[in-house]
A = this chain, B = another copy of it.
Amino acid sequence: MITPLPHAPDDDLSLQRIAPMTGRAWRVGAGDVVRVADLEGSQVADVFLVDAGDLEDGLSNGRTFDYGGTLSLTVGARLYSSRSRLLATIVRDDVGAHDFLYAPCSQAMFESQYGVSEPHPNCYDNLTGALAEFGVPAATVTIPFNVFMCTSVGPDGRLTILPPRSRPGDVLELRAERDLLVAVSACSASVANGGGARPLGVGVRPSA
Give me the interface of A with B, judged by CB distance under 8 Å. Answer: 56-57, 60-63, 65-67, 69-72, 82-84, 101-104, 106, 108-109, 112-113, 137, 139-140, 142-143, 153, 155-159
Contacts and interface: CB of A to CB of B under 8 A. Distances in A.
Nearest to A153: B153
A177 to B, nearest CB: 14
28 contacts: A56-B137, A61-B61, A61-B62, A61-B101, A62-B103, A62-B142, A63-B109, A65-B159, A66-B102, A66-B109, A67-B112, A69-B159, A70-B156, A70-B157, A71-B101, A71-B153, A71-B157, A71-B159, A72-B156, A82-B103, A82-B139, A83-B108, A84-B106, A84-B109, A137-B139, A139-B139, A142-B142, A153-B157
Given A61-B61, A72-B156, A142-B142, 11 more contacts: A61-B143, A62-B101, A66-B102, A67-B112, A69-B158, A70-B156, A82-B103, A82-B142, A83-B108, A84-B106, A84-B109
A61 B64 CA distance: 14
A137 B143 CA distance: 18
Greatest chain B CB density within 10 A among A63, A112, A113 is at A63
B102 A62 contact: yes
Contacts of A103: 60, 62-63, 65-66, 82
A60 B144 CA distance: 12
Contacts of A104: 62
